[in-house]
Structure 1
Amino acid sequence: MASVQEVLAVLESSGFERLPKPLTIVGTEFDFEAAVRGTETSHDLVVIATDAVAPRRLRRLVAGLARSLDLASSRRPVSLVVLGELAPADRIELERYARVLPIASAKAEIADIEDAVAVLLPLNLPNADLVHGGDPLNEVLAALGTLKSTSDHIALVNAAADGPDAVRETLRRYANEGAGWTDEGTSSDE
């Protein structure tokens, strides 16, 4: 099973700050295995417990913590990371007071921990400088190649810049020309 220290390491590497033990809120002490708080983009208070704590005691701790935070007029959301098994009924009860993030795997790796607490971690977006892309219309023309780019292809691609209705109208005119029809719907041979 993942250790409390491994969970703390993942959270601290993402900008969370470890809080002293026992966690004290408005003079009341809460004996969780560990607690951290978000410092930058996250404002979560994250408490960590193991399945060594009896479910009834854990429910009381979390409920008491929620009440104490209310008394302190705290706006911090509470997340509870539970290491080990958690019965569905216990989870439902705990979710009344906190976001519950269980790590039940007996062989949890760092990646498993990161997956379990992903909702708390910042998103890793690709660097905009590394994302290459040109004008989509030029990309389509390049994909068609110079041998296949007829004036009709170019007209359709250029119409795409004006939206789907313009493409439909250009395609309609192209089909009508091929059929020998005029815009009035009659044949040009008549």
Structure 2
Amino acid sequence: MTSVQNVLAVLESAGFERLPQPLTVVGTEFDFEAAARGTDTSHDLVLVATDQVPRRRLQRLVAGLARSLDLAASRRPVSLVLLGGVAASDRIELERYARILPIASPIPDIAEIEEAVAVLLPLKLPNTDLVHGSDPVNEVMAVLGPLKATSDHIALIRAATDGPDAVRETLRRYANEGAGWTDEVGDSDE
């Protein structure tokens, strides 16, 4: 499998659809090495090019495609995966028309491809069913232990279940009690 095919395989596993070659937009053909479009949550048009394509030709292709997409009133953002890296001056010119996703290696492994195109891929969140956490209140009580948990600790932990304002109020009362203050406001006879 070639590097271009590996890029397409990564994109397809994320819900992208491979487009036929040459890519045709508004009757104009664009001969990129590969192209794919997002189908579900992504609407990107992703182009793939290697360092075998002369940079001037690539710049003309990307600029022409951008103009054709404008004529078609397309709202698809364009991303260009460049295998083999790109010079800074070439990148600046290409970025006028597309998001550039360079891969330094001309023959990257799947991990390098996934890292380069990560902005196009859905986030991989941990499975919450597999997280072995328990209720945070119970964890705090377990750390304190039954002998160390005072009535003040228990009051704060119970307040935590009602949110930060309840904790602030409980701490305020605790501090006032420790200082010998009361919540009663009296008239002063000064």
Is TM > 0.5 for Structure 1 vs Structure 2?
yes
Displacement after TM superposition at 1:107 (Å): 5.2
- Alignment match, 1:85: 85
When the two structures are aligned, how many residues end up with a matched partner?
183
Aligned to 2:60, the other structure's residue is in SS state helix
Is 2:80–2:99's contact at 8 Å kept on the other side of the alignment? Answer: yes
Displacement after TM superposition at 1:17 (Å): 1.4
Q: How does 1:164-175 map to 2 (within 5 A)?
A: 164-175=164-175
Q: Structure 2 counterpart of 1:126, which letter?
A: P
Aligned to 2:29, the other structure's residue is in SS state strand
Distance 2:111 2:165 in 1: 47
Matched, 1:182 2:178: no
Distance 2:155 2:144 in 1: 13
Q: How does 1:124-163 map to 2 (within 5 A)?
A: 124-163=124-163
- Alignment match, 1:114: 114
Distance 1:139 1:39 in 2: 43
Displacement after TM superposition at 1:43 (Å): 1.5
Aligned to 1:47, the other structure's residue is in SS state strand
Report which stretch shifted further, 31-40 or 129-138.
129-138
Displacement after TM superposition at 1:69 (Å): 0.9
Q: Structure 1 counterpart of 2:143, which letter?
A: A
When residues 172 and 41 of structure 1 are mapped into structure 2, their CA distance, relative to the original with a 3 A threshold, is closer
Distance 1:37 1:92 in 2: 24
Distance 2:163 2:172 in 1: 15
Distance 1:96 1:146 in 2: 64
Displacement after TM superposition at 1:62 (Å): 0.3
| CA distances 1:7-35 after superposition (whole Å, capped 9, x unpaired) | 11111222211111111111111111111
Distance 1:176 1:15 in 2: 59
Q: How does 1:56-67 map to 2 (within 5 A)?
A: 56-67=56-67
Q: Structure 2 counterpart of 1:102, which letter?
A: P
Distance 2:70 2:129 in 1: 44
For structure 2, which runs of at least 5 residues remain unmatched after alignment? 184-190
Displacement after TM superposition at 1:168 (Å): 4.1
Q: TM-score, normalised by structure 1?
A: 0.85
For structure 1, which runs of at least 5 residues remain unmatched after alignment? 185-190
